[in-house]
């Protein structure tokens, strides 16, 4: 039997091929690093009697690990963040197709691979947050507005190599075309308040400190701060931050996912499919929102209080596989304009 939880790439030997094929087990490779997900796994075990053996690490590390393990990989499921990263795993041949009436009926078509190689189970919109004292929200109604010279010296983002930034650019390539997307990247870079640094929470804190007037960040970071607080984002700081769901009059706000797929050589395939179907259940979907401040993937699922405070919105409905297909071009565009 596997260790219940093994963390990080250094635990390469904690799984031994061929030891995990007993009925009633599921070997989960996960880059979701949230303590609150423990409840998801416990509920699944209680409902099915299937024991989850979990390996945790960064998404790209787990992908490389599965590639190295090849046919001997004990992984049944890979769950990770961002459709662009799921696309990378799929391009490496790490997933197999899944046909499931349950999944097809519950997960919208733009939130899963066209052939069922991976499925999205929770959503994060990448939206615009701003300093209420410095910025008029009417000036930032679209992603394109972030490139307007009137915002010079005010915009903060993560680095161009960050998967969230790559996926946003990949979506803009699809909607605006390569030429306009490159103009956007150049304009945003010219409007920067500082060179990119830190994660999404750091961008929000930079609004609170006055360093940045406008930032791009995923919704769940802000919703989490609303629910439980965060050093540097106390109640007063949060009250000074506004938000805009961009492009509501056009293609909608960019949305990304946490998603999962069945590993190509899964020794417990039937259990793996059951787990994917469980993640689309009403109970699991409500917990993605209540436990981790994400938007559920299944339409009509109630929102937690923190997510409901952000509100509902028109989302971009291009199939998220496109975010991977345009990923290389997204990086080339950033590189050409010097966006670090």
- pLDDT score at 10: 38
- pLDDT score at 260: 98
Residue 314 lies in a domain: no
Residue 182 lies in a domain: yes
Run of H or E including 131: strand 119-131
Cβ neighbors of 68 (< 8 A, separation 6 or more) are none
195/327 same-domain check: yes
22: pLDDT strictly greater than 60: no
Residue 307 lies in a domain: no
266/151 same-domain check: no
235/328 same-domain check: yes
Tokens of 263: 């590993």
- pLDDT score at 23: 56
Residue 311 lies in a domain: no
Q: Distance between CA atoms of 33 and 337, rounded to whole angstroms?
A: 33
Residue 152 lies in a domain: yes
Please give the residue range of the domain that contains residue 295: 5-123+257-302
133: pLDDT strictly greater than 90: yes
- pLDDT score at 231: 84
Q: pLDDT per residue over 41-70, tens digit each?
A: 999 999 999 999 999 999 999 999 999 999
Total domain count, the chain? 2
Q: Distance between CA atoms of 114 and 41, rounded to whole angstroms?
A: 27
H helices, E strands: number in the chain: 14, 10
189/332 same-domain check: yes
Kindly give the residue spans of alpha helices, DSSP state H, lying in the chain: 38-48, 59-69, 83-91, 101-106, 163-176, 178-190, 200-208, 219-228, 235-239, 269-279, 282-292, 305-310, 321-325, 327-337
204/292 same-domain check: no
Average pLDDT, the chain: 93
Mean pLDDT of 141-170: 98
- pLDDT score at 15: 41
Residue 137 lies in a domain: yes
Task: Look at strands 214-218 and 77-81 and give their pairing.
Answer: unpaired
129/118 same-domain check: no
Cβ–Cβ < 8 Å for 137, 130:
yes
Q: pLDDT per residue over 197-250, tens digit each?
A: 999 999 999 999 999 999 999 999 999 999 998 888 999 999 999 999 999 999
Mean pLDDT of 70-87: 97
Residue 274 lies in a domain: yes
- pLDDT score at 233: 93
- pLDDT score at 229: 86
Mean pLDDT of 171-182: 98
Q: What is the chain's length?
A: 340
Give the angle subtended at the CA of 210 by the CAs of 171 and 148, to the nearest 5°.
40
Cβ–Cβ < 8 Å for 200, 221:
yes
20: pLDDT strictly greater than 70: no
80/149 same-domain check: no
> What share of the chain has pLDDT > 90, as a percent?
89
11: pLDDT strictly greater than 60: no
Q: What's the CATH number where 73 sits?
A: 3.40.190.10
Mean pLDDT of 173-186: 98
Q: pLDDT per residue over 303-335, tens digit each?
A: 999 999 999 999 999 999 999 999 999 999 999
277/330 same-domain check: no
């Amino acid at each position: 039997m596997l260790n219940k939880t093994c963390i990080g790439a250094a635990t390469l030997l904690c799984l031994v091929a061929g030891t995990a094929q007993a009925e009633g087990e599921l070997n989960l490779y996960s880059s979701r690093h949230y303590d609150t997900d423990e409840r998801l796994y416990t509920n699944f075990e209680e409902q099915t009697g299937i024991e989850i053996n979990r390996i945790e690490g960064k998404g790209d590390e787990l992908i490389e690990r599965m590639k190295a393990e090849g046919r001997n990989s004990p992984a049944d499921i890979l769950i990770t963040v961002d459709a662009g990263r799921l696309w990378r795993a799929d391009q490496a041949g790490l997933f197999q197709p899944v046909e499931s009436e349950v999944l097809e009926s519950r997960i919208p078509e733009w939130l899963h691979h066209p052939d069922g190689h991976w499925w999205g189970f929770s959503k994060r919109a990448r939206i615009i947050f701003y300093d209420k004292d410095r910025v008029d929200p009417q000036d930032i109604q679209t992603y394109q507005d972030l490139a307007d010279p009137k915002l010079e010296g005010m915009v903060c983002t993560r680095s161009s190599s960050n998967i969230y930034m790559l996926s946003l650019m990949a979506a803009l390539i699809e909607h605006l075309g390569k030429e306009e997307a490159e103009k956007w990247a150049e304009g945003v870079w010219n409007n920067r308040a500082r060179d990119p640094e830190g994660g999404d929470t750091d961008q929000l804190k930079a609004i609170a400190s006055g360093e940045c007037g406008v930032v791009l960040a995923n919704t769940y970071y802000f919703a989490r701060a609303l629910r439980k607080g965060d050093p540097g984002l106390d109640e007063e700081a949060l009250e000074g931050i506004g938000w805009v769901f961009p492009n509501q009059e056009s293609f909608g706000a960019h949305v990304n996912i946490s998603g999962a797929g069945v590993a190509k050589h899964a020794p417990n395939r039937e259990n793996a499919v059951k787990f994917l179907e469980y993640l689309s259940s009403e109970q699991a979907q409500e917990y993605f929102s209540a436990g981790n401040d994400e938007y559920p993937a299944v339409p009509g699922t109630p929102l937690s209080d923190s997510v409901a405070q952000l509100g509902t919105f028109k989302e971009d409905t291009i199939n998220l596989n496109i975010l991977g297909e345009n990923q290389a071009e997204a990086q080339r565009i950033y590189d050409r304009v010097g966006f670090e």
